[in-house]
Amino acid sequence: MPKYTITLIPGDGIGPEITNSVQRIIDAAKVEICWESYKAGKSALEVYGDPLPKALLHSIETHKIALKGPLTTEVGKGFQSANVQLRKSLRLYANLRPVKTLTGAYSRYTGIDLVIVRENTESLYAGIENEIAPGVMQASKIITREASLNIAKFAFDYAQKHHRKKVTAVHKANIMKLADGLFLDCCREVSKSYPDIIYDEIIVDNCSMQLVMNPKRFDMLVMENLYGDIISDLCAGLVGGLGVVPGANIGEHVSIFEAVHGSAPDIAGQGIANPTALLLSAIMMLQYLGEETAAQLILNAVYRVYGEAKILTKDLGGNNTTEEFTNEIIKYVVK
Ligand code: NAI
141 & 218 share domain: yes
What one-character DSSP code corresponds to residue 25? H
Question: How many angstroms separate the alpha carbon of residue 72 from the centre of ligand 1?
Answer: 9
Q: E strands within the chain?
A: 4-9, 33-37, 65-68, 94-100, 113-119, 129-133, 136-139, 166-171, 198-203, 220-223, 248-250, 255-258
Say what the pLDDT of residue 80 is.
84
pLDDT at 285: 98
For 88, the 3-state DSSP assignment is: helix
Q: Containing domain of residue 300, as a range?
A: 1-90+254-335
- 91 vs 181: CA distance, rounded Å: 23
Residue 113 lies inside a defined structural domain of this protein:
yes
How many CB atoms are located within 10 Å of the residue 162 CB? 10
The answer on 83 and 113 residing in a single domain is: no
* Separation in Å, CA 133 to CA 97, 130, 137, 138: 39, 9, 7, 9
Going by alpha carbons, the residue nearest to atom 10 of ligand 1 is: 264
Average pLDDT over residues 281-310: 97
Please give the C-alpha separations between residue 234 and each of 112, 212, 213, 228, 275, in angstroms, as whole numbers.
Answer: 13, 8, 12, 10, 19
End of a domain among 199, 217, 240?
240
Domain end position, chosen among 240, 270, 292 = 240
Query: Which of 20, 245, 261, 320 maximizes ligand 1 atoms within 8 Å of its Cβ, making it the mutation to test the pocket?
Result: 261
Report the largest interatomic distance among the alpha carbons of the chain, rounded to a whole angstrom.
65
pLDDT in tens, 194-205: 999 999 999 999
Q: Quick check: is 95 in a domain?
A: no
pLDDT of residue 291: 97
Residues 89-134 have pLDDT tens digits of: 999 999 999 999 997 678 889 999 999 999 999 999 989 999 999 9
In short, whether 71's Cβ falls inside 6 Å of ligand 1 is yes
The one-character DSSP state at 176 is S
- Rounded Cα–Cα distance for residues 72 and 279 (Å): 20
Domain boundary among 240, 269, 287: 240
pTM recorded for the entire structure: 0.96
Residues 314 and 276 in one domain: yes
Residue 2 falls in which region: left (phi positive, over 0), alpha (psi -120 to 50) or beta: beta
Q: Identify the pLDDT of residue 103.
A: 76
Per-position DSSP letters for 177-212, written without gaps between them: TTHHHHHHHHHHHHHTT-TTSEEEEEEHHHHHHHHH
**CATH code assigned at 297:** 3.40.718.10
Summarised one tens digit per residue, pLDDT across range 204-254 is: 999 999 999 999 999 999 999 999 999 999 999 999 999 999 999 999 999
Whether residue 220 sits in one domain with residue 164? yes
Is residue 249 a part of any domain in this protein? no
In a domain, 332, yes or no: yes
CA nearest ligand 1 atom 30, residue: 262
Atom number of ligand 1 nearest to Cα 72: 32
CA of 244 to the centre of ligand 1 (A): 12
Q: If you take atom 40 of ligand 1, which residue's CA is the nearest one?
A: 70
The rounded Å distance from CA 3 to ligand 1 centre is 32
Is the pLDDT confidence value at 75 over 90? no
Looking at the structure, tell me whether residues 139 and 214 fall in a common domain. yes
| CA of 267, closest atom in ligand 1 | 11
Amino acid, single-letter form, for residue 25: I
Asked whether residue 245 is assigned to any structural domain, the reply reads no
Q: What mean pLDDT comes out for the span 73-96?
A: 90
Helix (H) / strand (E) containing 293: helix 292-308
Confidence bin at 2 (pLDDT 50/70/90) = confident
Indicate whether 145 and 208 sit together in one domain. yes
Yes or no: say if 232 and 116 are a contact pair by the CB < 8 Å rule. yes
| Cβ 197 under 6 angstroms from ligand 1 | no
Pick the closest to residue 256 from 94, 39, 45 (CA basis). Answer: 94
185 alpha carbon to ligand 1 midpoint, in Å? 34
pLDDT at 140 over 90: yes
Q: What is the pLDDT of residue 90?
A: 94
On whether both 215 and 112 belong to a single domain, the answer is yes
Closest-CA residue, ligand 1 atom 23, reads 262
110 and 138 in a common domain? yes
Among 229, 263, 322, residue to substitute to test ligand 1 (most atoms within 8 Å of Cβ): 263
Side chain identity, residue 311: I
**Ligand 1 contacts CB of residue 242 (under 6 A):** yes
| C-alpha distance from residue 177 to each of 172, 174, 185, 223, 298 (Å) | 8, 6, 11, 15, 45
Instruction: Name the β-bridge partners of 65.
Output: 255
Closest CA to 145 of 118, 169, 175, 122: 122
Q: Which pLDDT score is estimated for 74? A: 85
How many independent structural domains does the chain possess?
A: 2
- Same domain (yes/no): 109, 195: yes
Structure confidence by residue, pLDDT tens digits, 149-158: 999 999 999 9
Q: Check whether residue 226 and residue 112 sit in a common domain.
A: yes
| Pairwise CA distance, residues 9 & 181, whole Å | 37
Answer yes or no: is the C-beta of 318 below 6 A from any ligand 1 atom: no
Is there a domain that residue 316 lies in? yes
Q: Is residue 236 part of a domain?
A: yes
109 and 236 in a single domain? The answer is yes
Alpha-carbon distance 75 to 140, whole Å? 18
Contacts of 309 (CB under 8 A, 6+ apart): 104, 105, 318
Specify if 96 maps to a domain. no
Same domain (yes/no): 150, 198: yes
